[in-house]
Amino acid sequence: MTDQTIQVRKLTPRIGAEISGVDLSRPLDDRTFREIRAALLENQVIFFREQDITLDQHKAFGRRFGELHVHPAAPAPEGHPEILRIHADQNSKRVAGEGWHSDVSCDPEPPMGSILRLHKVPSCGGDTLFSSMYAAYDALSQPMKDLLCGLTAVHSGEHVYRGRYEYTEGTREDTKQAFPRSEHPVIRTHPETGRQALFVNASFTTHIKGLHKRESDALLEFLYAHCARPEFQCRFKWDVGSIAFWDNRCTQHHAMWDYFPEVRSGFRVTIAGDKPFYRADTPEKRAMAA
Ligand code: SIN
């Protein structure tokens, strides 16, 4: 195993960086692994180009960051339960990830990160947009932060996954299946960086506990619009062999389906996460952020 020297080029000041100088088909030496991990923690989503890797190499890369997550609903390719196929073509009625979300946030322990590689891309379009939930939190007023940090939201997979894969090869009948539903803090403290992030999303979050429905709907509508502000975002243009690796604990993403009827196809490895929690900012931390 020889050391590789990576270069990190930021896409925007707040979120996203492209990494070069690494071949992910080779086992990662510890220094390169630490540098990639540090780039992910700092930039929240990192991108690689021209990576020619097998499913096993893709999984091995993911396993450097933690145990792999198995999707609660989507069928997996034969022999690879930890792989999620991302695919759209002229027969697709919908595509995965079209709408702002953090992956599988309905799980009691939502995934820490996701690593998507595309092997087929449309002639143009099919970009993925990423939004920083640190930036979204930081931009809120202190009274709004004070309100949100005491709140808990319900995230459900029922309306997202029920019947969703019924025309997909390898799918199983889901009438008897129960999909995850979990309660998470609206403001989540990142377990590695200690930074606060907004943790509600339009795909999975159904309501905020303890509020009247009209209050919850109005607050969530405001927060979803806030999370989607362009200044919190970066946008990735894919080529064949590109990889995006995002931290679900502090980002949301949105896959653009503007290329119908063209084909876009890839595989995603998802890394297991832990139970979201909120830890209050200390006065010192507040002073540093001000
Ligand atoms: C997803 O994993 O949510 C899909 C992202 C994409 O297709 O760009």
pLDDT above 80 (res 1): no
How many whole angstroms separate alpha carbon 122 and alpha carbon 202? 26
Which of 92, 115, 246, 253 to probe ligand 1 with, by most ligand atoms within 8 A of CB?
Answer: 253
Task: Put the strands of the sheet holding 7-10 in their side by side order.
Answer: 7-10, 17-20, 45-48, 243-247, 113-120, 264-271, 83-88
Q: Which amino acid is at 56?
A: D
> Which stretches of the chain are assigned E, i.e. beta strand?
7-10, 17-20, 45-48, 83-88, 113-120, 128-132, 152-156, 181-185, 187-189, 196-198, 205-208, 233-236, 243-247, 251-255, 264-271
Q: Is residue 1 part of a domain?
A: no
Give the pLDDT confidence score for residue 289 in this predicted structure: 65
Which atom of ligand 1 lies at the shortest distance from residue 86's CA?
7
> What digits encode the pLDDT tens for the residues 94-137?
898 999 999 999 999 999 999 999 999 999 999 999 999 999 99
128 Cβ closer than 6 Å to some ligand 1 atom = yes
Quote the pTM value: 0.94
Q: Is residue 2 part of a domain?
A: no
Percentage of the chain modeled with pLDDT above 70: 93
Q: Please give the distance, rounded to the nearest whole angstrom, from the Cα atom of residue 131 to the centre of ligand 1.
A: 13
> What digits encode the pLDDT tens for the residues 248-263?
999 999 999 999 999 9
How many whole angstroms separate alpha carbon 268 and alpha carbon 61? 12
Looking only at the bridges linking them, the beta strands covering 17-20 and 7-10 are: antiparallel
In sequence order, the β-bridge partners of residue 245 are 46, 115
Q: Is residue 64 part of a domain?
A: yes
Mean per-residue pLDDT over the chain, rounded = 93
Closest C-alpha residue for ligand 1 atom 3: 97
Which atom of ligand 1 lies at the shortest distance from residue 103's CA?
3
Which atom of ligand 1 lies at the shortest distance from residue 253's CA?
3
Q: Is residue 109 part of a domain?
A: yes
- The domain tally of the chain equals 1
> What digits encode the pLDDT tens for the residues 45-77?
999 999 999 999 999 999 999 999 888 777 777
How many whole angstroms separate alpha carbon 150 and alpha carbon 175? 36
Please give the distance of CA 290 from its chain centroid, rounded to a whole number. Answer: 28
Local confidence band at 176 (pLDDT 50, 70, 90 cut-offs): confident
Q: Assess whether 172 carries a catalytic annotation.
A: no
Give the pLDDT confidence score for residue 112 in this predicted structure: 98
Q: Where is pLDDT greater, at 183 or 176?
A: 183
Closest C-alpha residue for ligand 1 atom 4: 97
Whole domain around residue 120: which residue ranges? 7-289
Q: Is residue 251 part of a domain?
A: yes
208 Cβ closer than 6 Å to some ligand 1 atom = no
pLDDT above 70 (res 4): yes
Which of 58, 114, 116, 127 to probe ligand 1 with, by most ligand atoms within 8 A of CB?
Answer: 116
In sequence order, the β-bridge partners of residue 189 are 196
Read off the CATH number of the domain in which 147 is found: 3.60.130.10
pLDDT above 70 (res 267): yes
